[in-house]
Amino acid sequence: MSNNDALFQQLDEVFATILSGMSPTGRQRTARSIGTTLRRSQSQRIGRQEAPDGSKYPQRKQRILRAQAGMRFIWQGETRQLRNWRATRGRHGRMLTGFDIDRGDTAAVNLTHKAQTQFINIAAPFQDQLFDYTADNH
């Protein structure tokens, strides 16, 4: 029997002694309290992005921002309108890729030259996400 097994055996004996002196209602109340406390502590630990051993979780892979809603913008002097677009990072930097309604074809727009791009109309729920995605800290 290893040292841990002996410690667990002693702990089992202590808990058995405590539980033998409790009524069934008291045991149920105690079990509920322990479960609630454990659930709360686990939730807080997960919120802090920590593993049970205290190490940090690996950083999540960045999601690709996608939208079915349309977007209009001026790029290199042309008004473009995309639908079913997504924001990604390609070989040449940040890009918007989507279906160009006017041309009837798929179009990709490189966002590394922000001075060339002026957004006219983006569906409201995606404005903040797109501008957060295209910010320099991403």
In this predicted model, what pLDDT tens digit does every residue of 21-70 receive, in sequence order?
A: 899 999 999 999 999 999 999 999 999 999 999 999 998 877 666 666 77
What's the total number of domains in the chain? 2
Half-sphere exposure of 52 (CA within 13 A, CB side): 2
Q: Which residue range is the domain that position 88 belongs to? A: 65-133
Whether 57 is covered by a domain: the verdict is: no
Whether 52 is covered by a domain: the verdict is: no
Whether 91 is covered by a domain: the verdict is: yes
- Percentages (nearest 5) of helix, strand, coil residues in the chain: 40, 30, 30
Amino acid letter, 51: A
At residue 97, the pLDDT reads 78
